[in-house]
Amino acid sequence: METKSDFLIIGSGIAGLSYALRVAEFGSVSIITKKEKADSNTNLAQGGIAAVISNDDSFELHIRDTLTAGDGLCHIDAVETLVYEGPKRLNELIDIGVKFTTKYGKLDLGREGGHSRNRIVHAQDLTGKEIERALLQKIATHPNIKIYENHIAIDLITEHHLGINLNKSSDIHCWGAYVLDVEQGIVKKFLAQITMLSTGGLGHVYLHTTNPLIATGDGVAMAYRAGANIANMEFIQFHPTTLHNSGSPSFLISEAVRGFGAYLKTIDGERFMSKYHPSLELAPRDVVARAIDAELKRRGDNYIYLDLRHLPADSIKEKFPNIYQTCLEKYKLDITMELIPVVPAAHYACGGVFTDLVGRTNIKNLFACGEVAMTGVHGANRLASNSLLEAIVFSERAATTSIEIVSNQKIQIPEIPEWDDSGTFNTEEWILISHDRKEIQEIMWDYVGIVRSDLRLERAIRRLSFIHEEVENFYKKTKITEPLIELRNLVLVALLIAKSAIMRKESRGLHYNTDYPQKDDINWKKDTIISIWD
């Protein structure tokens, strides 16, 4: 079965949907999404979008804050692009119907760790959900866009599928993807002149994560197998404050809560951030996560506390209605009167598919945008609320370039063979291999987490390499299923993170190695780039 369109978008978060609305004016668009169309990291984003709006703020300050958080690895041209173009893209979201929180007739601006000014535009504490709602509402009425729910991409279609041998110097072209229709259990060909990867994050590589269940690193894995360059995978941001024992995904207590004035305390009531950073609770996320991790290990505790009890209860309820209601109703915790037990959890990948400033990868006609991409904006550590901003800024730039390509040249798509699913599915063998998912997550949590060492990383690589080989062997001889696709992607992405981490012989930003505790600008002030050809 074959579907053809001018633009194929894999993923339905803010990056993919924003891109879709722009390119749909110039051609047909197919959006494939693993689950329901609103399942995405965007939908779970509580904080907001950082943008220079107020009179006491400036582009220079936002750029400086971003570069400081990125710890020397941000690409300055990407950061300038992000900050200068951000306010215009934000106003476009307002124009399509996103209802941001206002106060006295103006946008209500919050503040989060690493920001020197109040610049976080938000929709109470459900910003991502509100943006997703408005984008999907707009897309539902567009005649050129079709969304395919419960469709999961297996692999990008390139010369490899034509039997052509590729190498590092080959010109590789992407013509779409093989996609599993989960409900029908059949593999389809989705062919397109331009393919956009907007698959989001990879949090479920780890045992504890704030990410939705769909975040299994599919885009990075597919792009790597196809020959794309992957960069800076060692920089995984752990959100410092997720609700302890809140399940999977972990319930996130927004950074804006600390921006509002909450304290971090040990179980016996000690405020400890003064030992780690002059900005206390508003230090960058990597600093706060490591500080919490250090306190937990020093004391042997399972969690620390977030304390809002000194703040006005009515203001807390007004500012964080979703967090307040969820904690009260689901977890029987009144955050206005009780201490909140919190722990760090994997939250955001600063690395990904290496792109230029318009979203192009090194594979022709393959673009990437959002969390799956590495534009250079985040460097070694993402500044809070720059992620949704990155998605809207770079999706517009990618759309402009994609439209130019489709308008100026008719891309010839060769005859693509049908998917060969002649393998047999052995239920008993799958039961055995399905346990690998939990093992991968435990390996990553224990050995490739907030604090690392060469010994831990080497052990992780050995064990992950064995699981990777086992999964690939099983994949080659069996019928495709959604859990198998995710498992295959998870173990590959886990390996890419571990291998990238052991390559970097220093500590910087989100990557902390006890064997190399200092930053080394002479040798390591550069991106870690890997590909299947290395």
385/110 Cα distance (integer angstroms): 10
- HEC per residue, 118-183: CCEECCCCCHHHHHHHHHHHHHHCCCCEEEECCEEEEEECCHHHHCCCCCCCCCCECCEEEEEECC
3-state secondary structure of 1: coil
304/314 Cα distance (integer angstroms): 24
72/506 Cα distance (integer angstroms): 13
Q: What is the DSSP string of 377-441?
A: SSTTSPPTT-HHHHHHHHHHHHHHHHHHHHHH--PPPPPPPPP-------HHHHHHHHTHHHHHH
Beta bridge partners of 146: 30
Closest CA to 11 of 111, 135, 98: 135
Pairing, β 366-368 against β 186-197: parallel
What Å distances lie between residue 47 and 52, 105, 111, 129, 188, CA to CA? Answer: 16, 20, 9, 11, 37
Q: What is the DSSP string of 302-346?
A: S-EEEE-TTS-HHHHHHH-HHHHHHHHHTT---TTTSPEEEEEEE
216/318 Cα distance (integer angstroms): 34
Closest CA to 112 of 64, 49, 54: 49
- Which long-range contacts does 276-281 make (Cβ < 8 Å, 24+ apart)? 279/113, 281/113
- Residue 117 appears among annotated catalytic residues: no
What Å distances lie between residue 69 and 24, 284, 514, CA to CA? Answer: 36, 6, 21
Which strand ranges, in their side-by-side order, compose the sheet holding 120-121? Answer: 49-50, 120-121, 109-110
345/355 Cα distance (integer angstroms): 27
Say which residue the tokens 């000690």 belong to: 270
Pairing, β 145-148 against β 151-156: unpaired
357/362 Cα distance (integer angstroms): 12
The residue annotated as part of the active site, out of 285, 360, 488, 508, is: 285
84/483 Cα distance (integer angstroms): 41
3-state secondary structure of 251: coil
Tell me which residues are annotated as active site: 285
